[in-house]
Amino acid sequence: MNASTSDFLFELGTEELPSGSLCSMVTALEQEIVAGLAGKGLGHGEVRRFATPRRLAVTIKNVALEADDETIEVAGPPLASAKTESGEWTPAALGFAKKQGVSAEDLIEIDDPKGPRLGLRRIQKGAVAASVLPDIISAAVAAIPVAKRMRWGRERHEFLRPVQWLVALLGEEVLPVSLFGLNSDNRSRGHRFHHAEPVVITNPHGYEQALSAAFVIADFDERKAVVEKQVREVAQALGATAVIEDDLLEEVTGLVEWPVALSGSFDPAFLEVPSAAVISSMKEHQKYFHLLDKAGELLPLFITVSNITSHTPTSVVTGNEKVIRPRLSDAAFFFNTDKKTPLIDRETKLETVIFQQKLGSLADKTRRVVALSGWLADTLSADRKVAERGAALSKCDLVSDMVLEFPDLQGIAGGHYARHDGEPEQVAACIEQHYWPKFSGDNLPQSPEATCVALADRLDTLVGIFGIGQVPTGSKDPFALRRASLAVIRMLLSLDVDIDLGELIAESAATYPPDTLEPDASTTLISYILERLRAWYEDQSISVDTLRAVTVTGITRLTEIDRRVQALHQFSSTEAAVALSAANKRVANILSKTEDDFRGPPKEDQLSEPEEKQLFAALNQADLSAQPKISAGDYAGALEVLSVLREPVDLFFENVMVNVEDPEIRANRLRLLGALRDSFIRVGDIALLSSGKGAT
C-alpha cells in the first residue's frame, strides 16, 4: 500500500436490528461515506459493506490521506471599475481586497465570462482525511434511514436500536468519533454467546478475519450463501428438497451472525390442513424452511437456522418443535371450524364488509364479478355456469377464520372449502386461481372459467377505482392497480380470442349502478392499461417507440396490438426501415403544415414527373399485395411487401418538388403522400420508429 493512503473502517455496533432493515441501512451508510470522501476530493479503492444483526460496517481500501491542493480564483469587481481616471484604487477594489485579507496591490487581472475582472488566485490546501472523516462519519450515520427511532438510558440519543460501540480506524490509528454518547476505539464485539470478550481490530484489513475468529460472519452475502448451503445439505441428508425462497433466506440471514441449520419435525396429522397454511405458519411466524418429498408433497419436517453452535442441538430442535405446534394447532382448528359452514352460507357476511366506500360492499363487488364472468364465459366459449358459480363463491373465504388469521390463504382456503362442500373441481379451481397471477412471472389461471373470474375481478376493481377518480400516483396505489393491469394484459395476450379492451371495460362499467362512475373514466383507464404495456415490451427488448407506433392508431385489442408490435419490431431492424421511417417522418411533417385538402386518392392523369408516376404505380401494386396479408393479420408479411417502396420513395423526394405553385399539381402530390402514409398506418405509424432501429 502506498504511504500516502491508508485503509479505513467504521463499525456501528448496536443491539439486535430488525433483519428487514439491515441491507438498506448499511447501503445508505456506505453511499454517504463514499459521497463524503468524494466531496473532499479524497480518492480511494475498493469499498465493502458488512451487516449483521448487531453491526453495520464499511471498509474502504487505500483512502488518500490528503487531497491535492487546489488553485482557486476569486473574482472581484470589473477591471474597468477597479481604478479611477487618476489611477487610484476605487472603493470597490479596496473593499474587495480587504474582504480577501490582502492589499489591493496583490490583486490581479483574471478572465471571466462577463469580461476581465479584478481578482485573486490562492492555493487551497487539500483536505486531510484524518481531520474530515469524523464529520463525514457523523453525517453518514445521521443519514441512515430509520423508520422508527427509540431512546435508551438517560440520554436523549435516538436510533433504531441502542448503540453499544463504535470502531473507527484509518490504518492502525483510531479516528476520534463521538456519537450517541460514545467515543470510538478499536474494540469491536464478537458473537453474543460464543465470544464475550472484546475483539481488538488492529487494522481495517483484518476486520473480517478478526470477527470470523469471534464467531461472526460479517459479510451479509457470504452469510447468506452459508445459510443456503447448510439448509440444502440438511435437506439432502433427510432425502428431501428444501424450498428456499429468497425473501425468507434474506430475513433469516439478517437474524443470525453464526448460522447453524437444524432439522425438526411436526405431527403428520397437521398435513390434513391445507399445505399453504402449514407453510405460512412455519415461514411467517417461525422463519422455518419447509421440505418436500420427491413427489413435491409437503413433509412433516422443517429446517430452522440457529444463531449458536449448541452442545445439545436436540434441545434447540425440541424447543422449536414446541413453538410451532400451537401455531399449527391454531391453523388446524380454524380449518376444521370453517368446514362446518358451507362457503355459500358466508355470502351474506360479505354485505357487512366494505370493498370501497363509494363502490359498496364485497357482496356488491361479487355480484358485479358474477355478471361480468358470465359475459366473458360466453365470449371465451367457457362454461358459463361454472364461471358464475366460481365468481359467486370467490370472496366467501375472506370472512372465514382461516383467512382472517392467514390473509395469504385467500383463494387457497376457498378452494379447499369448496371441495369439502362438494362443489365441482372446476368451481374450486376458479376460486383458488382467480387471484392468479399474484406477481410478475406467476402462473396464469389454468382454465377458461378461472380466467373469466380472474379477469372480471381485476376489471371490476380497475373500472370502479378509476371511475371514482382515484387514479394511482407514483407513490400511492392502495388497490394495486398497476399489478391488476399487468395481470389483465398477461391474461388477454394468452387468449386466442381477440377481445377489445374498450368493450371489456364498457361491459364492466355496465354492472355498476347509474351515475356511480365518472363518464370519461373509461378513456383514462384504457390509456393507463396501454401504458403498462411499456414494461411488458421492455422485458422483451422492444422499444417504447415501436409500441407507440401501434397505439397511436387507436387500436385497443391487445392481441392485435401485439401482432403489430412484433411485426414492427422485426421490421425496424431492416435497412428498409431506416429509409422508410425517415421518409414517413418527412411526409408527416409536410402534411401537418399544409392547408391544402389532400383527402382522397391521387389522380393519375395529374402526375407529370417520372418519379411520381413510378411511386404511384409501386404504391398501388404494394397496396394490392399487402391488403390480403393485413386482412389475415400477417403484418410482418405486409411490411415486407411495403418495404419495396423504399427506392421509389427516395427517388420521389430527390427529384420531385411537392409544394409547387400550381395548386392542382401540389394537391395531387400531397394526396400521393397521404396515400403513402395511409399504407403504412394500416400496420403502425413507422414515422415514430427511432431511426428505424426500434431503439429504446
Per-residue pLDDT reduced to its tens digit, 225-256: 999 999 999 999 999 999 999 999 999 999 99
Q: Higher-confidence residue: 1 or 221?
A: 221
Which residue spans of the chain are classified as CATH 3.30.70.260?
A: 5-67+128-213
Q: In this predicted model, what pLDDT tens digit does every residue of 515-544 receive, in sequence order?
A: 999 989 999 999 999 999 998 899 899 999
Helix or strand holding residue 689 (H, E): none
Which residue spans of the chain are classified as CATH 1.10.3210?
A: 343-539
Helix axis angle, 521-538 to 448-467, nearest 10°: 120
Q: What is the DSSP letter of 411?
A: T
220: its cell numbers? 451479509
Q: In this predicted model, what pLDDT tens digit does every residue of 27-66 receive, in sequence order?
A: 999 999 999 999 999 999 999 999 999 999 999 999 999 9
Helix segments in 339-447, DSSP class H: 362-379, 384-393, 401-405, 412-420, 425-433
Q: Higher-confidence residue: 496 or 413?
A: 413
Is residue 480's pLDDT more than 70? yes
Which residue spans of the chain are classified as CATH 1.10.730?
A: 562-692
Q: What is the mean pLDDT of the chain?
A: 92
Given the candidates 1.10.3210, 1.10.287, 1.20.140, 2.60.470, the CATH classification of the domain at 343-539 is 1.10.3210
Q: Which CATH class is domain 562-692?
A: mainly alpha
Q: In this predicted model, what pLDDT tens digit does every residue of 292-323 receive, in sequence order?
A: 999 999 999 999 999 999 999 999 999 999 99
Residue 470 and residue 221: Cα distance in Å, rounded? 41
Q: Give the mean pLDDT of 584-600.
A: 81
**Percent of the chain scored above 90 by pLDDT?**
73
Looking at residue 474, its pLDDT comes to 72
Residue 26 and residue 24: Cα distance in Å, rounded? 6
The pLDDT confidence band at residue 3, using thresholds 50, 70 and 90, is: low
The pLDDT confidence band at residue 333, using thresholds 50, 70 and 90, is: very high
Looking at residue 692, its pLDDT comes to 40
3-state DSSP: the chain helix, strand, coil percent, rounded to 5? 55, 15, 30
With H, G, I as helix, E, B as strand and everything else as coil, classify residue 122. strand
Residue 656 and residue 302: Cα distance in Å, rounded? 79
692: its cell numbers? 428505424
Is residue 615's pLDDT more than 70? yes
Return the number of other C-beta atoms located less than 10 Å from residue 365's C-beta: 23
Strands (E), 38-131: 47-52, 55-64, 70-78, 108-110, 117-124
Residue 63 and residue 308: Cα distance in Å, rounded? 36
Is residue 696's pLDDT more than 50? no
Among 364, 378, 499, 377, which residue's Cα sits nearest to residue 445?
Answer: 377
Looking at residue 287, its pLDDT comes to 96
Among 11, 12, 3, 51, which residue's Cα sits nearest to residue 206?
Answer: 11
Given the candidates 3.90.650.10, 1.10.3720.10, 3.30.9.10, 3.30.70.260, the CATH classification of the domain at 5-67+128-213 is 3.30.70.260
Among 449, 442, 558, which residue's Cα sits nearest to residue 496?
Answer: 558
Question: Which of left, alpha, beta for 180 (phi over 0: left; psi -120 to 50: alpha)?
Answer: left
The pLDDT confidence band at residue 208, using thresholds 50, 70 and 90, is: very high
| 3-state secondary structure labels for all residues of 575-638 | HHHHHHHHHHHHHHHHHHHCCCCCCCCCCHHHCCCHHHHHHHHHHHHHHHHHHHHHHCCCHHHH
Q: Give the mean pLDDT of 147-159.
A: 84
Cα–chain center distance at 217: 30
7 φ, ψ to 5°? -80, 155
Looking at residue 693, its pLDDT comes to 41
Cα–chain center distance at 493: 22
663 φ, ψ to 5°? -65, -35
Is residue 347's pLDDT more than 90? yes
Helix axis angle, 384-393 to 362-379, nearest 10°: 160
Looking at residue 215, its pLDDT comes to 97
| Least confident window among 81-95, 251-265, 420-434, 514-528 | 81-95
Q: In this predicted model, what pLDDT tens digit does every residue of 178-190 receive, in sequence order?
A: 999 999 999 999 9
Q: Higher-confidence residue: 585 or 332?
A: 332
Q: In terms of residues, how long is the chain?
A: 696
Rg (CA), the chain: 36
Return the number of other C-beta atoms located less than 10 Å from residue 428's C-beta: 22
Q: In this predicted model, what pLDDT tens digit does every residue of 354-396 receive, in sequence order?
A: 999 999 999 999 999 999 999 999 999 999 999 999 999 999 9
Among 641, 621, 652, which residue's Cα sits nearest to residue 683?
Answer: 641
